[in-house]
Structure 1
Amino acid sequence: MTNWQHFTLGTLPVSPWRNGGGETREIISYPPGKSDFDWRISIATIAQDGPFSAFPGIDRSITLLSGDGVHLQALPDIDHALTAIGAPFSFSGDIALSARLAGGVTTDFNVMTRRTACAARVIPVRESQQISHEKGGAIYVIRGEWQLPDGVVIGAGEGFVWSAPYAEKKHAQHCTVKANHPDGLLLWAAVTQQ
């Protein structure tokens, strides 16, 4: 778990949306300190219906963490009910979507990658998974307790994030995460070289 940084939902910095419809808690934006990120992982709270901002040149993935979810629409390209917790949905950031709440406030896990620099996949894990270091990424626990190497245990609302310049890595690094009970659910966002 070299270079992995622990985080909890409650300690992430909060940025309210300009339109007042929600807020974002950024887990990582890479490279650090640059507004033109190569990749970014965050957790967003959607409190009311409204548009998603367009991000030209960016590929996006959104996964419901809590709440009843949202209906995402940009006809004729996208008409998707994001209502299953832990089921990632990928789409192009070039498209400006509208989001309509299916019920109350929802919380979502978001991954954005600049398609000329890298790509990402978000993998729901229910039992155990070998996690590879890749170019970077994060794990985040939705449900249950999870066993990590070196006796580390994390629970709901906790995760780890890591980043490393791809050229500096001599060998791929791996570790295994394992649910401590059968109802566990964890997300792994793996950022890979394009």
Structure 2
Amino acid sequence: MTLTHLFDVETLPVGPWRNGGGDTREIACEGSAGPDGGSADFGWRASIATIAADGPFSPFPGVDRTITLLAGEGVHLIADGAGTAGAAALDHRLDHPAVPFAFSGDHALRARLLGDGGPVLVLNIMTRRGRWTADVRRVDAPVPLPAGHAGVLYLLSGRGTNTGPGPALRPGRGRWWTSGAADHAAPLEPGSVALWADIRPV
């Protein structure tokens, strides 16, 4: 059986962004992330980020990213195409909860908070291009964990079954794993809704 690791967003260590625009709670990292996840050593990284103010997003050359709104009114992400590796322009409003948005970390992004400008909370999945790739989706039923894949499950509503050490899942908690097993399923009770990041080697 796959060994999964429990996390709770309320107890994850909090690290401030270097530009003061938010903070990050790291869930898991394959390799070494370094400050703000900026090291070239990580293969994949999962975190919960708070975007607290308008301002720049640090570019991550060679990294693919997927972010999903968890709480708050949303954020407008803009890039003029001046990022690394000839990244094209980008203009996206992340304002629908639990709808993943994938983009290249090569972008030099600016973020503008929507609505009253209050902070937003997002799930952030980053994968090193050419080594790992991720598919993030909203799920409402148990899903098989493919053999050899890593992953993250974050519960949005309902409950999760307890398939490992520690308490059962509730909203704001989740599990992550470094490898999957074809006969094992993500621990969701009927009627529950979660975000599942299937992270697989290239």
* Match of residue 31 from structure 1: 31
Q: Structure 2 stretches of 5 or more lacking a match?
A: 82-88
Change (3 A) 1:133 1:31: farther
State percent identity of aligned pairs. 45
* Match of residue 60 from structure 2: 55
Q: Counterparts of 1:129 and 1:29 in 2: how far apart (Å)?
A: 22
Q: Counterparts of 2:136 and 2:27 in 1: how far apart (Å)?
A: 15
Q: Counterparts of 2:14 and 2:43 in 1: how far apart (Å)?
A: 21
Q: Which runs of 4+ in 1 moved over 6 A?
A: none
Q: Give the TM-score normalised by the residue count of structure 1.
A: 0.87
CA RMSD in angstroms comes to 2.3
1:5 CA displacement: 0.6
Shifted more, 2-11 versus 54-63: the winner is: 2-11
* 2:143 alignment partner, SS class: strand
1:192 aligns with 2:192: no
* Match of residue 45 from structure 1: 50
1:148 CA displacement: 5.2
Change (3 A) 1:108 1:176: closer
1:73 aligns with 2:78: yes
* Match of residue 22 from structure 1: 22
1:65 CA displacement: 0.5
Kept in 2: contact 1:24–1:44 (CA 8 A) = yes
Kept in 2: contact 1:59–1:114 (CA 8 A) = yes
* Match of residue 82 from structure 1: 94
* 2:10 alignment partner, SS class: helix
Q: Counterparts of 2:111 and 2:137 in 1: how far apart (Å)?
A: 23
Query: Higher strand fraction: Structure 1 or Structure 2?
Result: 1
Change (3 A) 1:149 1:3: closer
* 1:129 alignment partner, SS class: coil
Kept in 2: contact 1:130–1:177 (CA 8 A) = no
Count residues with an aligned counterpart. Answer: 187
Q: Give the TM-score normalised by the residue count of structure 2.
A: 0.84
1:126 CA displacement: 2.5
